[in-house]
Amino acid sequence: MEANYEPMWESLGLDLAAHDELLRILGKGYSDVFLSQENRPKGMSYFDFVMSEVHGLRVKELIDGQKEGRKVIGSFCVFVPEEIVRAADATLVGLCTGADFATDEVDELLPRNTCALIKSAFGFKLGKVCPYIETADMLVGENTCDGKKKSYEVLGGLVDNLYVMDLPQTKSPEGRALMRAEYVRFRDAIEELTGITIDAERLRKGIGIANDKRRAIHRLNSFRSADPAPISGLDALLANQVYFYDDPARFSESVNKISDELEQRVQKGEGVFPEGTPRILMSGCPMAVPNWKVPWIVETSGAVIVGEESCVGERGTRNLADDSRNTIDELMESILDRYFQIDCAVFTPNLERQRHIEEMYKRYNADGVIHYGLQFCQPYQFESMNVEANLEKKGIPTLRIDTDYSMEDIGQLKTRIEAFIERIS
């Protein structure tokens, strides 16, 4: 019997008619993009279930946890340290972006040339269709780019639980000191919210939970270097997207289960595409649910995506935090070590990201790179030109794409992507 979540959604203040329409559109899009794929790993059935219940059962779990005293922290960015949240027995979840919603209302609050991701987040709030925003006990914004920094001044007037974290723009001793101070301040805020004092034992446990998720994703990704690829880029992206919503222990177990299946596929030489299919590394801006447009075009145009150099991808999960240290200060330093390595485009200079792309290109045996930029995302659009030029100089074919969440440019994108795939075939 199908559960009725409408009373729950209504209690959260969602616009039921708009939310029903959103779920209808997302359901059809998911079916067209994911369920139409052939020869998917059987383990993907779990992720299909998660997506079918992402606004239902998962939200109910969060609310049930709140009744037992567990707080919910909503986040937009991979710089928010999950280890600290988990150390206080709280839950960290991603917030809704990845699609256009309530655009007329958003245009009344934000400039039209605001980054598509920021406008999307506002659209989900103004349209009253994101249960995660309404469930969260604390929303964490982070001052990465100027667009986010200024938009939080506006968002603060729409919600009463916004916490803003400052972040450095340089990989300097001063930048590291700023991040250290901000992570300590965040720990204090989480302790105040939850009423739990985070000691070394708790923080070590939080590091372990976060590391287990990352190890699971690392294992899944390791099989994508094989030819033929044992999993599509779309399905691998889906696992990376579910990473931000699911219960961590359940997620790690499910990813390891599908990795067992992928390992067998590799041993048998089985793939989702024929051997020799052109292999693409995606690079650039994050792709949050339900942003599947470009990967879908790539993989219905004769290529397979074998890696994501993205916050919803390897940039967000790349490194582990060292949990072998003893004191709370040492463990906080481990967390700082881990997050300070993230090669986000907000850092300047950011040469590590260029090296990271080249390393991933070789590790996944890619044939070309598609640099994906969201419209008006200045940090990644600025970097995209140098990335393209430097990769091409080294003989790495690169296609630079700037787009948004609309479907209006699908034809143009498909033409360019097909031409690029022909070039690298």
Q: What is d(CA 50, CA 255) in angstroms, rounded to the nearest whole number?
A: 13
Q: Tell me: the pLDDT tens digits for 225-237?
A: 999 999 999 999 9
For residue 362, name the pLDDT band (cuts at 50, 70, 90). Answer: very high
Instruction: Name the CA radius of gyration of the chain, rounded.
Output: 21
Q: Tell me: the pLDDT tens digits for 187-197?
A: 999 999 999 99
For residue 37, name the pLDDT band (cuts at 50, 70, 90). Answer: very high
Beta-bridge mates of residue 140: 75, 163
Tell me the residue type at 386: N
Among all chains, which residue has been given the structure tokens 């140098």? 386
CA 313 distance to own-chain centroid: 6
∠ Cα 197 201 205 (to 5°): 100
Q: Tell me: the pLDDT tens digits for 143-180?
A: 999 999 999 999 999 999 999 999 999 999 999 999 99
Contact 272, 304 (CB under 8 A): yes
Q: Mean pLDDT throughout 7-29?
A: 97
Beta-carbon neighbour count of residue 146 at 10 Å?
12
Q: Mean pLDDT throughout 96-101?
A: 94
High-pLDDT (> 90) share of the chain, %? 99
Q: Mean pLDDT throughout 63-78?
A: 97
Q: Mean pLDDT throughout 258-268?
A: 98
Q: According to the model, what pLDDT value does residue 288 have?
A: 94
Q: According to the model, what pLDDT value does residue 3 have?
A: 86
Cis peptide before 131 (omega within 30 of 0): no
Task: DSSP letter for 96, please.
Answer: P
For residue 62, name the pLDDT band (cuts at 50, 70, 90). Answer: very high
For residue 34, name the pLDDT band (cuts at 50, 70, 90). Answer: very high
Residue-averaged pLDDT of the chain: 97
Q: According to the model, what pLDDT value does residue 135 have?
A: 98
Contact 292, 33 (CB under 8 A): yes
Find, among 289, 297, 424, the residue nearest to 369 by Cα. 424
Q: According to the model, what pLDDT value does residue 329 have?
A: 98
pLDDT at residue 413 tops 70: yes
Q: Mean pLDDT throughout 259-277?
A: 97
Cis peptide before 248 (omega within 30 of 0): no
Beta-carbon neighbour count of residue 101 at 10 Å?
26
Q: Tell me: the pLDDT tens digits for 292-339?
A: 999 999 999 999 999 999 999 999 999 999 999 999 999 999 999 999
Q: According to the model, what pLDDT value does residue 2 have?
A: 67
Q: Which two tokens stand for residue 173?
A: 């001793």
Q: What is d(CA 195, CA 387) in angstroms, rounded to the nearest whole number?
A: 46
pTM for the whole thing? 0.96
Contact 34, 232 (CB under 8 A): no
Among all chains, which residue has been given the structure tokens 């390891």? 256
Q: What is d(CA 232, CA 238) in angstroms, rounded to the nearest whole number?
A: 10
Q: Mean pLDDT throughout 197-224?
A: 98
